[in-house]
């Protein structure tokens, strides 16, 4: 589990592509590698991956077919940078919200608005069926960053970013058309799905 508070930025240093399977390596800042070992979980752009092997400060991960299909990791190139968070430990401060590292789908940046220190991103969801999980002031995780939904119009939503988030993450380098990983808040998903199932069940019972 993670908190959505990005701890550092890592550089992609290798990509080995096989059919429906990647092995890729990143150089993680040394202040984040203490105690990090093979088998540990690391959030890569919000996607929970397991350390496969280690060489000095370079850490390598397997990326399976489903992960490639549902995340922006398939678009990475050598020299790109990604957001990194180590898995949370009992007793850690939860500065964002509970994040599983399981990406639901991606969204595309449709608009960027900046006025002074105010910075807003509008994103368009690729799968419109996901919009039922989006609520004003609800939690959302973008490339591993815990954020709050500001506005919602049709299949687009807006988030507002403070200067600290821009300085500590890769989000500042994104442009219109950039693809971002999306994780829906799990509690929101459970509530929506449970309510929807209950309504559908009662409709069937009433027909009988």
**pLDDT tens readout for residues 7-16:** 999 999 999 9
pLDDT of residue 186: 85
pLDDT of residue 206: 67
pLDDT tens digits for 11-33?
Answer: 999 999 998 899 999 999 999 99
Q: Are 50 and 19 a contacting pair, CB within 8 Å?
A: no
Mean pLDDT computed over every residue of the chain: 92
Q: What tokens were used for 73?
A: 């990791």
pLDDT of residue 33: 94
| CB burial of residue 117 (10 Å; 0-12, 13-18, 19+) | exposed
Q: Which residue is associated with the tokens 């000095």?
A: 56
Average pLDDT, integer, range 54-82: 95
Q: How confident is the model at residue 205 (pLDDT cuts 50, 70, 90)?
A: low
Q: How confident is the model at residue 208 (pLDDT cuts 50, 70, 90)?
A: low
As a whole number of angstroms, the distance between CA 141 and CA 39 comes to: 24
In angstroms and rounded to an integer, the radius of gyration of the C-alpha atoms of the chain is 18
As a whole number of angstroms, the distance between CA 174 and CA 121 comes to: 10
Q: What domains are there in the chain, each with its CATH number?
A: 8-86 (2.40.30.20), 105-188 (2.40.30.20)
% of the chain at pLDDT higher than 90: 77
Pick the residue with more confidence: 202 or 137?
137
pTM of the predicted model over 0.75: yes
Pick the residue with more confidence: 91 or 123?
123
Q: How confident is the model at residue 115 (pLDDT cuts 50, 70, 90)?
A: confident
Q: Which residue is associated with the tokens 């930025």?
A: 9
Average pLDDT, integer, range 126-149: 92
Q: Which of 16, 113, 116 minimizes the C-alpha distance to 58? A: 16
């Amino acid at each position: 589990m993670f908190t959505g508070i990005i701890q550092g930025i890592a550089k992609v240093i290798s990509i080995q592509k096989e059919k429906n399977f990647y092995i890729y390596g990143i150089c993680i800042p040394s202040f984040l590698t203490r105690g990090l070992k093979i088998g540990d979980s690391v959030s890569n752009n919000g996607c929970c991956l397991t350390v496969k092997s280690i060489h000095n400060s370079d850490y390598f991960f397997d990326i399976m077919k489903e992960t490639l299909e549902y995340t922006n990791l398939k678009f990475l190139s050598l020299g790109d940078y990604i957001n990194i968070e180590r898995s949370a430990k009992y007793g850690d401060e939860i500065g964002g919200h509970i994040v599983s590292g399981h990406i639901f789908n991606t969204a595309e940046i449709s608009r960027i608005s900046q006025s002074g220190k105010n910075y807003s991103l509008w994103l368009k969801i690729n799968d419109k069926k996901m919009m039922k999980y989006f609520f004003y002031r609800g939690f959302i995780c973008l490339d591993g960053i815990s954020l709050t939904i500001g506005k919602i119009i049709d299949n687009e939503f807006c988030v507002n970013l403070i200067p600290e988030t821009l300085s500590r993450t890769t989000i500042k380098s994104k442009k219109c058309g950039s693809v971002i990983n999306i994780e829906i808040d799990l509690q929101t998903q459970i509530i929506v799905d449970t309510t929807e199932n209950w309504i559908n069940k009662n409709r069937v019972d009433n027909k009988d």
